[in-house]
Structure 1
């Protein structure tokens, strides 16, 4: 007998799980709202395609896809591969439910309790959804969003006006291991050497090969002390006359720009403000409801013990 391939073995194991798991006997496609069939993708069959008829009722491709929603990801992500088995499972689920209903199980206390619990959960979800929808419509209006946005922007702009001017420079550097190497590079630059080319060839800064030693714009407090002191003492276009030692090695610095740091701008959109107001409302509702409830938290960790230090 031929040895099964890995794919055959994998398929067999998935089908075994499909046929023996408890999920096989459950329809996991129930949602709080009727599902809308997804549009057919290029090369894929129409989700509305009728794949079977059971007692005169159409079974569509979308029905089968939805019925696999609670199964193992390996199955639900490969519906086409297992479609015949999933179709057979779906038909089985419908037939068992119809037979149980014919036997009067829809009146069985155990069934009615499960149904009541499920309906209550669906109802709770629907109530929460509508509760917050109505609350948000009432409490977070466009006018309130506009007012809050304008208030935040005015305060931000007022704070920005109080900021002192701050110098910002851009620079490039060539980093080497020894002072002698740095001195040789300075001598080469003084003779007309190309800073960017030398940086790409000789700098031990890993990024130098791609950016020719460019560091971009920075203000005071963003670089190591020795480098910063030397750089901010230089003028735009100037190259350091002596190596600058830091914990990383020896730097040869070139100043490539000098400006007053641009003032920050207000970056919140009205939609950001709306989301902030909704979250504030949610937190306030949670606090108010808790304050009004008779609540006794017995064990907030659910039996878990805090980790020992």
Structure 2
């Protein structure tokens, strides 16, 4: 199973190009051993990160957040330089076939090649080369992660005791598994209900007629969900149906009109330790691996010669602002004292 590593920002990595080339000191925001990160590289990375997250640092509500966000992104770039350098020093490699396979897996999450290109090329402003380098960095990071944590094969946590102490965590609420077809009009939904009642395959109809993009790969199967997971009209209709039952009339929500069929139901119950022990063991092993890798990256930082010019600049600006504020407060107090003395003189 592919691990999610704390240092990854999925596919918003822009590999650091022009590392080590001649740049003026004003252009450099960080030095990592014999490599540099430029203002231009940081700005590009910031642009991609902001576009993917939907954040707008020009928003008045985000005032004061810009410096923090820039420092976070720059630290990620520094860590990536250290990770890639260390991975290569250990002989870890990524071949072009693995990169292509990973990009194809990513494309499969989009409805079409055009949608994929629109998102990365137009919205994130990432070129084909950017994407390939991004994937290469992630695969190298994963390879290093697996190399460093390969000896962690079991957890030190007493999972039986954890289960006993946290039984509420393993209480399964009532759940429904439903398949749906979403269309724009009530008339369309009624016609689909009729077609299903006449024996047509609902999964195929979902792929052909549903406006829910996910229907192209899940054929309308929403898997199991509990109360509160869906919009109210949909939830109410789904939980009211029996297994195998189809809605007699379309269900209207803010998204359109739904045709719903319940595929399965799970009653509310307490899961046993036997049911959850493997999941628990895997969870804690992964946590311990993450902690080990985090500590490893901290060691890489400690052993590297890192000069974070941006951090130094921000600290200087903050210190100057604090000094200016202190001076302003002091002058204000002096003016108040002078005013008091003046008032006393007038009274005398």
TM-score normalised by structure 2 residue count: 0.36
The structure that is helix-richer by fraction is: 2
- Whichever of the two has the greater Rg, that structure is 1
Structure with bigger RCO (C-alpha 8 Å, 6+ apart): 2
